[in-house]
Chains A and B, each alone.
Chain A
Amino acid sequence: MDWRDHGILLSMRRHGESAAIIDVFTEAHGRHAGVVRGGASRKVAPVLQPGAQLDLQWQARLEEHLGSYRVEPLRSRAAAALSGRLALAGLNAVTALLSFCLPEREPHPVFYRRSEQLMDLLGQDEIWPLAYLNWELALLEVLGFGLDLSRCAVTGTREDLAYVSPKSGRAVSGPAAGVWADRLLPLPPCLRGEGPAPDREIAEGLRTTGYFLAEKVAPALAHRPLPEARARFVDLFSRRL
């Protein structure tokens, strides 16, 4: 069995003295792990930093084997992110969430391309948080917990949509929310792709997506807690407000 693909490195851990096991989000093969011989060496280890874009050749005797990778770096994203606090926290949040949420060996080519675009924007702190928020929405969709923000779940109207129901993940208009408003999640215009998306709205959007990640996705994944890296990114971003 062998194939060639490209992907985003999510994590690397040493295996023995000189090898490494890497977890990569690839375009055609989804999240896929494999051994890199010599991956812990002085020459290769600096290349295997989370976020790196790699050209990959995977080989194994049987499909279900872990298999081994031959990797070639296409571009390093860590270098651009290391000096920026928010960029580094963002990189950690994306790689940790992908590792946490995505099932192994299930291809998501459209979501992969979206993730690659997001990673390429790292370091552009003015636009990155909004891109990240939209990426989290897409992640929820991929995982089967997509939000329906097109019309009010109660009245069917497309006007004055101001909340999201934590139960159904559907939009609720301001008038329909009534006395239940304080139990609903915020639906800032930027979550529907509208308006100039000031930081305050993005933070509200992250609160909403964070709720569904923590309360819907995590319980479906054996109740593991959400990666701390996401909370750290949201915390750093909130300080900008």
Chain B
Amino acid sequence: MSANREIENLIELMAKLPGLGPRSARRAVLHLIRKRALLLIPLADAMQEVAATARECLNCGNIATADICDICQDDRRATGELCVVEDVADLWAMERAGVFKGRYHVLGGTLSALDAVGPEDLRIPRLIDRIAAEQITEVILALNATVEGQTTAHYIADQLDGQVRLTSLAQGVPIGGELDYLDDGTIGAALRARREI
């Protein structure tokens, strides 16, 4: 394989990343080559390291570099609260906010009739096991406010009914949101969930 062919191969691979196309991948590769010491070599090292160590946490489904992730190993996070999310990206979003101090459980998807995803395809049995094993007192269903997300939430609620306190995220006006731009469904949900001030 010629040097050019190797670079073309890198461009082709980069172009498959989300948000990148052939042109932007070419620009990114050119930038990396120009910043070889500063970016390309550290990036290649980091990717190699992650490729060798990244795996799913056996307990919660988070992505970690060990069998059990840092969150599950941290005793300070054993608050009795368990936040159920659809995907690792949702877990990372919750962690970015820095407001939740308990542990997580990543389902790995939602129930979907269209894609034939049933309860056995998600980490629901493991969730039920964890509730007993980790003395969970509250399960927070932080699933997307979509038909599939809420169908999954109701299913889990049915499975855990009576075992533990079940809560879900509120739905309504986002911070910085203007009523004029909200859809009627969100306004309705916000009005139903109104509270005294």
B150 and A82 form a contact (CB under 8 A)? yes
In the complex where A13-B114, A76-B184, A229-B113 touch, is A85 in contact with B154 (Cβ < 8 A)? yes
Q: Of B29-37, B43-51, B85-93, B185-193, which stretch is located at the interface?
A: B185-193
* B125 proximal to A (CB < 8 A): no
Q: Which single member of B150, B184, B188, B192 contacts A88 (CB below 8 Å)?
A: B150
Q: How large is the interface on A (under 10, 10 to 19, 20 to 34, 35 or more residues)?
A: 20 to 34
Q: How far, in angstroms, from A24 to B146 measured CA to CA in the complex?
A: 18
Query: Would you call B183 an interface residue if the criterion is a C-beta within 8 Å of the partner chain's C-beta atoms?
Result: yes
Within 8 Å CB of A228, what residues of B? Answer: 113, 118
Q: Cβ of B183 and Cβ of A46 under 8 Å apart?
A: yes
B132 within 8 A of A: no
Provide the bound-state CA to CA distance between A96 and B146, in Å: 16
Assuming the contacts A75-B184, A80-B188, asked whether A96 and B147 have C-beta atoms less than 8 A apart, the reply is no
B39 interface hit (Cβ, 8 Å): no
Q: Is B65 an interface residue (CB 8 A)?
A: no
A49 and B183 in contact (CB under 8 A), knowing A80-B188, A85-B154, A92-B151?
no
Contacts of B189 in A (CB 8 A): 79, 82-83
Residues of A within 8 A of B192 (CB): 83
- Known contacts A88-B151, A92-B147; is A79 also within 8 Å of B183 by CB? yes
B145 interface hit (Cβ, 8 Å): yes
A49 adjacent to B151 (CB under 8 Å): no
Chain A contacts of B188 at CB under 8 A?
79-80
The listed residue with most A CB atoms (<10 A of its CB), out of B19, B113, B118, is: B113
Q: Is B18 an interface residue (CB 8 A)?
A: yes
Set of chain B residues within 8 Å of A229, measured between Cβ atoms: 113
Query: Given A13-B114, A79-B189, are A50 and B183 also a contact pair (CB < 8 Å)?
Result: no
CB distance from A222 to the nearest CB of B (A): 15
Instruction: Give the distance to chain A from B90, nearest Cβ to Cβ, in Å.
Output: 15
Q: Verify A82–B113 contact, CB threshold 8 A.
A: no
The interface residues of chain B lying within 8 Å CB-to-CB of A96 are: 113-114
Is A188 positioned at the interface, with any CB of B under 8 Å from its CB?
A: no
Contact A82 B147 (CB under 8 A): yes
| Chain A 86-97 near chain B by CB (<8 Å), digits 1 or 0 | 001101100010
Q: Tell me how far the C-beta of A152 lies from the nearest C-beta in chain B, rounded to whole angstroms.
A: 38
A47 touches B113 (CB 8 A): no
In A110-126, which residues have CB < 8 Å from any B CB? Answer: none
User: What are the residues of chain A within 8 A of B113 when measuring CB–CB?
Assistant: 92, 96, 99, 227-229
- Smallest CB–CB gap between A16 and chain B, Å? 10
How long is the Cα–Cα vector from A76 to B186 in the complex, in angstroms? Answer: 10
* A187 interface residue per 8 A CB criterion: no
Beyond A85-B154, A96-B113, A229-B113, whether A79 also contacts B184 by CB under 8 A is yes
B183 touches A78 (CB 8 A): no
Assess whether A173 is interfacial by the CB under 8 Å rule: no
Q: Is the CB of B184 within 8 A of A17?
A: no
CB-CB contacts of B70-114 with A at 8 A, as 1s and 0s? Answer: 000000000000000000000000000000000000000000011
Cβ-closest chain B residue relative to A17: B18
- Contacting pair A51 B183 (CB below 8 A): no
A75 CA / B186 CA spacing, docked (Å): 12
Known: A85-B154, A96-B113. A79 touches B185 (CB 8 A): yes
- Cβ 8 A contact of B146, one of A13, A73, A78, A80: A78
Q: In the complex, what residue of chain B is closest to A23 when comparing beta carbons?
A: B114
Q: Which residue of chain A is the closest to B19 with respect to CB atoms? A: A17
| Interface set of A (CB-CB < 8 Å, partner B) | 11, 13, 17, 46-47, 49-51, 73, 75-76, 78-83, 85, 88-89, 91-92, 96, 99, 227-229, 232
Question: Assuming A89-B151, A92-B151, what are 10 further A-B pairs, CB within 8 angstroms?
Answer: A11-B114, A13-B114, A17-B18, A76-B183, A76-B184, A76-B185, A78-B146, A80-B185, A91-B147, A96-B113
Q: List 17 A-B contacts (CB under 8 A).
A: A11-B114, A17-B18, A50-B147, A75-B184, A76-B184, A78-B185, A79-B185, A79-B186, A81-B147, A82-B145, A82-B171, A85-B154, A92-B151, A96-B113, A99-B114, A229-B113, A232-B155
